[in-house]
């Protein structure tokens, strides 16, 4: 049994933020009696604009991408069909079920987990709100390429939301389109690659159709979160070095699991989807001190999602998994 549980269930970055980020968050604690200044929020929008290449006026802030997605579904679902894929980021699925009067879920079937673009285009027969995570969570698969996005953007009655929570790991983005296409929104987070899961800083890069409505609800981020995000964006090289290490570890772990005969799928995120033959794998791993994501609500039995830890954590996971299999 491990002294401390391995947290391989939340797709967190295993490396803490640099000291300058921690120091910035700590320094802000002296201002906890004050609401965040609008000027500081604008500074973060400008810094994100510089990072993304999208004008600051098209950048919206939020304490969490799940909150952004929920707000979009709640705001735009009346009078529209909400289309998602399955499996998908679970809070998106929950929000669609909760708020969308008209909902369609397109199944991604193993082993390819491909998006049937022809079927999707057929579904856009009425005004729609289409939400796709790219890379997909929990498969790690890229679902949208240039051809697919161009075809979707031709449907002017469709609001297209692309969840790019794992952009830094995939290097696939359509952020450069938002100023030209009012019906496009890109959702991102600093939780993952920037080691700020505890700060909960997300942002949307939005076209005018989204901006006209969502900009009326400014997000007052907590002081520590705001200052941590500003410091993290001051020099992104630390984040990029960590992402590089995670990608290398992801591929090393995937090959090691394949050598054990496990069905493990290629990923463009910071996790791996695997189909295990270990009965009751999530519980047994938890009992052994390893937390992994149970995706049984959206996928057939045997599928689990394993976040990529540091090398020591990944080796410990392999050792424990071998014992159980």
DSSP conformation letters of 31-98: GTTSPPPHHHHHHHHHHHHHHHTS-GGGEEEES-HHHHHHHHHHHH-TTSEEEEEES--HHHHHHHHH
119-155 residue pLDDT tens: 999 999 999 999 999 999 999 999 999 999 999 999 9
Over the chain, what is the mean pLDDT? 96
What is the structure's pLDDT at 220?
87
Counting Cβ atoms within 10 Å, is residue 41 exposed (0-12), middle (13-18) or buried (19+)?
A: middle
**DSSP per-residue letters across 254-323:** HHHHHHTT-EE---SSSEEEEE--STTHHHHHHHTTEEEEE-TTTS-TTEEEEE---HHHHHHHHHHHHH
Write out 123-170 in H/E/C secondary structure: HCCCCEEEEEECCCCCCCCCCCCHHHHHHHHCCCCEEEEEECCCHHHH
* CATH 3.90.1150.10 boundaries in the chain: 6-15+238-324
CATH architecture under which domain 19-234 falls: 3-Layer(aba) Sandwich (3.40)
pLDDT digits (tens, 9 = 90+) for 271-285: 999 999 999 999 999
Per-residue pLDDT band at 216 (split at 50, 70, 90):
low
For residue 266, the model assigns a pLDDT of: 97
Residue pair 148/170 in contact by the 8 Å Cβ criterion:
no
Kindly state the tokens that stand for 223. Answer: 């002081």
Confidence of residue 87 (pLDDT cuts 50, 70, 90): very high
Q: Confirm whether pTM is higher than 0.85.
A: yes
**Cα–Cα distances in Å, from 157 out to 80, 92, 126, 206?**
9, 21, 7, 16
Token pair in block for residue 281:
């794998």
- Given this model, what pLDDT does residue 1 score? 56
The mean pLDDT value for 296-310 works out to 95
Task: Tell me if residue 103 falls in helix, strand or coil.
Answer: strand
Q: Are strands 128-133 and 184-189 parallel, antiparallel or unpaired?
A: unpaired
Architecture of domain 6-15+238-324: Alpha-Beta Complex (3.90)
Task: Spell out the alpha helix ranges (H) of 156-219.
Answer: 167-170, 208-214
Report the pLDDT value the prediction gives residue 3, as an integer from 0 to 100.
Answer: 73
pLDDT tens figures, 149-175: 999 999 999 999 999 999 999 999 999
Q: Are 60 and 215 contacting, i.e. CB atoms less than 8 angstroms apart?
A: yes
Domain with CATH 3.40.640.10 in the chain: 19-234
Is 206 strand, coil or helix?
Answer: strand
- For 195: left if phi > 0, alpha if psi spans -120 to 50, otherwise beta; the answer is left
């Amino acid at each position: 049994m491990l002294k401390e549980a391995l947290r391989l269930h939340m797709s967190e970055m295993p490396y803490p933020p640099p000291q300058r980020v921690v120091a910035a968050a700590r320094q802000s604690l002296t201002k906890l009696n004050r609401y965040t200044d609008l000027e500081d929020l604008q500074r973060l929008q400008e810094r994100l604009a510089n990072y993304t290449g999208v004008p600051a006026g098209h950048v919206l802030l939020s304490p969490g991408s799940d909150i952004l997605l929920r707000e979009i579904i709640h705001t735009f679902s009346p009078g529209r069909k909400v289309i998602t894929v399955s499996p998908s980021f679970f809070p998106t699925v929950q929000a669609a079920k909760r708020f969308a009067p008209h909902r369609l879920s397109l199944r991604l079937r193993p082993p390819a987990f491909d998006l049937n673009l022809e079927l999707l285009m057929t579904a856009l027969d009425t005004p729609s709100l289409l939400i796709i995570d790219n890379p997909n969570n929990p498969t790690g698969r890229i679902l949208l390429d240039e051809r697919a996005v161009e075809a979707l953007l031709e449907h002017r009655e469709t609001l297209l939301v692309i969840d790019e929570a794992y952009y830094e790991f995939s290097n696939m983005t359509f952020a450069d389109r938002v100023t030209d296409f009012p019906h496009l929104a890109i959702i991102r987070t600093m939780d993952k690659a920037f080691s700020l899961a505890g700060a909960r800083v997300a942002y949307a890069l939005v076209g005018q159709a989204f901006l006209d409505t969502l900009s009326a609800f400014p997000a007052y981020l907590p002081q520590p979160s705001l200052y941590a995000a500003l410091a993290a964006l001051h020099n992104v090289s630390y984040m990029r070095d960590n992402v590089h290490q995670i990608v290398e570890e992801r591929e090393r772990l995937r090959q090691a699991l394949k050598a054990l005969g496990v069905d493990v799928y290629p990923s463009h995120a910071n996790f791996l989807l695997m189909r295990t033959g270990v009965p009751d794998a999530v519980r047994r791993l938890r009992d052994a001190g390893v937390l992994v994501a149970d995706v049984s609500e959206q996928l057939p039995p045997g599928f689990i999602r394993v976040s990529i830890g540091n090398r020591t954590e990944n080796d410990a996971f392999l050792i424990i998994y071998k014992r159980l299999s």
